Amino acid sequence: MSGVSRATLSRIENAEVSPTAETLGRLASAFALPLSQLLTPLEPGFSPLVRRDEQSLWADPSRGFKRRALSPPSRQLQLEMIEGEIDAHQRIAYERPSVPGHEHHLVLLAGSLALTVDGVRHELRAGDCLRYRLHGASSFETGDEPVRYIIAMA
């Protein structure tokens, strides 16, 4: 269902390779799970405080992409916060959302970002906030500078 080959899935499961952002997006869509739940198993209870050095960090070195889960993982709460960093001159594309209709609020902290959601391109500068629901393809394109952002997802 994900379009990821069995061989690649086996290599990821055996920690022989690290998946790209696009591969994780395909897997999350196939399981209809937010990416954070795919990366970090959720516990029934949760600690309300998670220190920065305890936050889950995932990286895709091929894209210069880092994704930090700011929120404590929990099945009991809907909203989660993610911090993202993407190197300059990168494009990360997702064919479809992991959860159709997933609401996002993206605040760009540094750099400039072209974010395309369902065919509509939005040019963001530091301080801008884009609120959207994912129903189709999306992509993140950086310019001459790296970007840093926070996404609140519900």
- CA-CA distance, 65 to 54, in Å (whole number)? 19
Output the furthest CA–CA distance in the chain (Å, rounded). 43
Query: What are the average pLDDT values for consecutive 10-residue runs of the chain, which has 154 residues?
Result: 79 77 75 64 70 92 93 79 97 90 96 97 98 96 98 92
CB 80 within 8 A of CB 153: yes
CATH number at residue 56: 2.60.120.10
**Is-contact 148 101, C-beta < 8 A?**
no
1 within a domain of the structure (yes/no): no
Q: Which domain holds residue 101?
A: 6-153
pLDDT digits (tens, 9 = 90+) for 69-78: 998 877 777 7
- pLDDT reported for residue 10: 78
